[in-house]
Structure 1
């Protein structure tokens, strides 16, 4: 009997496996070597110096990008500060000006080059600013300095930053607030005064009629006394109605010396001018209501003549945008200034108490300011600032 071993058709013989494995390893090694060779061709080996230079170059590029970003941020920050309508001053811990925005430079009249300089040196002409930097952070306050009115506030910042001060010139704003308050007060008094004046006129008309009847009946002396008193009260009622009259200013360019001269000529015809000298000096222009300014100047000049003793002089000085009235009287008590400008309160027995208040009302309606001060040589100075 003949025996045969079947041969598997699915599995290779052991000899093939023994011979094939080394060939596979060789092929795999060749492939790996080829890939490494290709990689070395694409990325040649660098020496340590080249690697260091590359790292430094990359670091510099990153710092450049960061510096550009910080520069853009600084520019935006400066533009935001320059857009603020008030001054911002930053003084660092070394006492140097670290920053000041455009509005702050304009208010103080300094240049951008003050940044980095000693704050005490830069701010020497502005002691109120230095005093503000010494205040603790908190609410805003107001102060006088350099003939102006200021609003200041220390802003709360970390101690390592230094001091941050907000400041603003509010002279015009405060003057506007005062004018508005006066307008409201004058309006209230005007309504009350108009009612009193109309009632007074009605009563005076009755008294005047009876005086005329007495005159016709032959009581001439009694009638004359009564009619004179009625005429005096009628003038007072007319002043009351003048005070209560609503104002509609018509502002236009005017020559101040012409209006001042016309007011002086009118005062020349009044009893207050007798035995006194009245002069008008200078010239200038301004925007004003000619009629209201004329009426105000007549009252102010007449009041100055009444305060000046006989034989002395009253001067009216004109410069662009301002008229000053200087008398040689006894002056005034600063504590009485508010009373002098209060309607119906006169310092003279024969006065109505409406001369100065009416002048103030007329000027206030046109946006002008009325300022009283004592002259060093004696007397009073009244400035009409247009």
Structure 2
């Protein structure tokens, strides 16, 4: 019985194993056939295009982010940056550049020659060799410019900044240091002269009492002139302690004009004051500075001419009708003890500058196109 059962199992098992083996062989052949079938070209192209579009999308997003970063960097730069492309169009002008030039963002894309017509010094800078650094003085501004190196296909990049205040402050500091050194030397010399003049004055008075009136008069007159000179020297050497307060500038100007009108050098000249304004100033120092400036204006203006003081808030202007100060003349007049007049001490303008600076203001000189000089005290 068991033999019969085993024979039956064997009879069914052998064909089943063949069936399983055949199925496996069929599957193997099917896989091999599929591998031999070439892929669909259209499907390959579509897949490649899809992948390329995805890459381009990611690249565009990265470029957009990079452009945003660059634009933000440009907008926070502390100097003006101008980019003019090969077609001579303004491709970029950052926020500081627009502020310095007083233009709107809409200038980007316009012809550079049109946008920069009011600024010929910028147009000239675009033609300079790359790497050049230079200064330009125009009107009341001093500009520092640099042509930035860039590939030819990019166009021209120009950096520019207004360094007026920085240079004025540097000059002011240099003058203060020089004034301090000269003041120490002058104080010593003035005190020695003062002692000697006191002796000469006593001798002149003795001569007058002894009946030598002519000799005494000449000696005393010369002594008094030298005493006034020594007093100017001492004014120069004296340390300043300004007491600034809110001042009516027109009132101070009128007081200075009244003082100058009493002096012979103002004869035949009209001295006028226009406008109103206030500023934080020391009344004594400001009046003394204005007197010195008005004296220079009277000396420059011919008889029959006018000296005008214009007043505004934080600003005083003195306009004369003289020939106008050249740069060399002005530089010489601002140097202590250098005068263009034989009877001058060379301290009029330097003292005015010292007194004005001590109050936190600045002194500016401008030669007027119609003739004459405008001196401005500005806070």
Which TM-score applies when normalising by structure 1?
Answer: 0.80
**CA contact under 8 A between 1:126 and 1:145: conserved in structure 2?**
no
| CA 94–307 in structure 1, closer or farther in 2 if over 3 Å, else same | closer
Alignment of 1:204-223 (within 5 A): 204-214=197-207, 222-223=215-216
For 2:367, the equivalent position in structure 1 comes to: 373
Matched, 1:233 2:226: yes
Which residue of 118, 128, 151 corresponds with 2:111? 118
Provide the rounded CA distance (Å) in 1 between the counterparts of 2:21 and 2:245: 104
**CA contact under 8 A between 1:91 and 1:162: conserved in structure 2?**
yes
For 1:82, the equivalent position in structure 2 comes to: 75
**CA contact under 8 A between 2:136 and 2:143: conserved in structure 1?**
yes
Alignment of 1:27-46 (within 5 A): 27=20, 30=23
CA displacement at 1:198 relative to structure 2 = 1.4
CA displacement at 1:251 relative to structure 2 = 4.6
Indicate the SS of the match to 1:138. coil
Provide the rounded CA distance (Å) in 1 between the counterparts of 2:89 and 2:323: 51
CA displacement at 1:260 relative to structure 2 = 0.6
Indicate the SS of the match to 1:324. strand
Alignment of 1:8-19 (within 5 A): none
Matched, 1:270 2:257: no
**CA contact under 8 A between 1:314 and 1:326: conserved in structure 2?**
yes
Which TM-score applies when normalising by structure 2?
Answer: 0.81
Structure 2, unaligned runs of 5 or more: 1-9, 31-38
Provide the rounded CA distance (Å) in 2 between the counterparts of 1:118 and 1:32: 78
CA displacement at 1:244 relative to structure 2 = 1.2
The structure with more radius of gyration: 1
| CA 303–33 in structure 1, closer or farther in 2 if over 3 Å, else same | same
**CA contact under 8 A between 1:296 and 1:363: conserved in structure 2?**
yes
Which residue of 182, 186, 195 corresponds with 1:189? 182
Which residue of 296, 305, 323 corresponds with 2:289? 296
For 2:63, the equivalent position in structure 1 comes to: 70
Tell me the C-alpha RMSD between the 2 structures: 3.4
**CA contact under 8 A between 2:204 and 2:219: conserved in structure 1?**
yes
How many residues are matched? 361
Provide the rounded CA distance (Å) in 1 between the counterparts of 2:18 and 2:278: 110
| CA 82–327 in structure 1, closer or farther in 2 if over 3 Å, else same | closer
For 1:10, the equivalent position in structure 2 comes to: none
